[in-house]
Amino acid sequence: MNAPDGPGAELADTLSRLRRILRGLQSAGLAALPRGTRTEQAAAQAEPVPGSSVEKAEDALRLTRLQMGDCRRCRLHGQRSHIVFGEGSPAARLVFVGEGPGFEEDRTGRPFVGKAGRLLDRMIRALGMRREDVYICNAVKCRPPGNRVPDSHEIQACSPYLFMQIEAIRPAVICALGACAAQTLLGTGSAVSRLRDSVRFWRGIPLVCTFHPAYLLRNPAQKSAAWQDLVRIHRILNEADEVF
């Protein structure tokens, strides 16, 4: 029998390409496809379309911030200047999660605006994106004194808000920056060096763990490893693009 041509052949070809992509994602461990189809167009709109997934994400983020209020659920509230909730696009396909605000972030109320933030900006640009295309937040929203690592009580008190933020956005991929973010999302005590060996998942969303930018500033030899993690993120974003 002759192979079909015309529109039939085109459809068969598209279906076989789609099958190949899905098989590839499945063998990479993807259990479920990310929910929602946010087009580049919708993402680029300053005003979200009423009733769209972007508007719902924006509302959910606003509600999460309202629920936090003037949070005093842990002792970190005592010395903070600002709650650093997070910022970026509610339509983000990539969410970065850091540890907690530092001095500059506490002063300004914005995440990753200090030295480590400047390196994160370069990482975002390496992915062909702008800071306003992604969403950036932290495991804890108030600065731990002296930039110490947040303790388990502080993380437990704050992580529900982090989870609500990510659920609101449901990005195509999450990037955990450093051990605190990775361990909070994955509920594990494993080291980043081990967690970055494969794509993990948070509630069905691919999660790539990499080194914290502040760690990379202290250990520049690890930048090539972080680069590999960015390549992995880029690939996941491209694969999600091909599916939708």
Q: Applying CB under 6 A, does 111 fall inside the site for ligand URA?
A: yes
Determine which residue in the list 98, 144, 150, 206 makes contact with ligand URA, applying CB under 6 A: 98
Query: Does residue 112 belong to the site contacting ligand URA (CB under 6 A)?
Result: yes
Q: By CB under 6 A, is residue 150 in contact with ligand URA?
A: no
* E strand residue ranges, 139-190: 173-177
138 binds ligand URA (CB under 6 A): yes
Beta carbons of 143 and 100 less than 8 angstroms apart: yes
Cross-strand partners of 180:
none
- Residue 67 burial class via C-beta count within 10 angstroms: exposed 0-12, middle 13-18, buried 19 and up: exposed
Min dist CB 111 to ligand URA, Å, is 4
Among positions 34, 48, 90, 102, the unique one binding ligand URA when judged by CB under 6 A: 102
Q: Which is nearer to ligand URA, 30 or 124 (CB)?
A: 124
> CB of residue 205 vs ligand URA: minimum separation in angstroms?
20
> How many chain residues are in contact with ligand URA, going by CB under 6 A?
13
Residue span binding ligand URA (CB under 6 A) among the ranges 23-31, 104-112, 189-197, 218-226: 104-112
Residue 185: its H or E element: helix 179-186
- When asked if residue 106 is in the footprint of ligand URA (CB under 6 A), the reply is no
Determine the Cα angle at 227 with ends 130 and 89, to 5°.
Answer: 25
Give 85's Cβ-side CA count (13 Å radius): 15
**Binding range to ligand URA, per CB under 6 A, among 18-26, 61-69, 113-121, 216-224:** 113-121
Which CB atom, from 226 or from 240, has the smaller least distance to ligand URA? 226
Task: Give Rg (Cα) of the chain.
Answer: 19
Which of 30, 54, 57, 105 binds ligand URA (CB under 6 A)? It is 105
Give the torsion sign (CA, 217, 221, 223, 225). negative
Q: Indicate the residue among 90 and 114 with the shorter CB distance to ligand URA.
A: 114
The 8-class DSSP code of residue 4 comes to P
Does 99 engage in binding with ligand URA (CB under 6 A)?
Answer: yes
- According to the binding rule CB under 6 A, does residue 90 interact with ligand URA? no
Q: Pick the closest to residue 79 from 103, 98, 115, 110 (CA basis).
A: 103
* Nearest to 143, CA basis, from 110, 96, 192, 185: 110
Q: Which listed residue (30, 57, 95, 116) binds ligand URA by CB under 6 A?
A: 116
Nearer Cβ to ligand URA (34/102)? 102
Question: Quick one: which of 203, 201, 183, 202 has its CA closest to 191?
Answer: 183
Burial grade of 215 (CB within 10 A; 0-12, 13-18, 19 or more) = middle
| Residue reference for tokens 């250990």 | 219
**Nearest distance from C-beta of residue 142 to ligand URA, angstroms:** 11
Binding footprint of ligand URA on the chain (CB under 6 A): 98-102, 105, 111-112, 114, 116-117, 138, 214
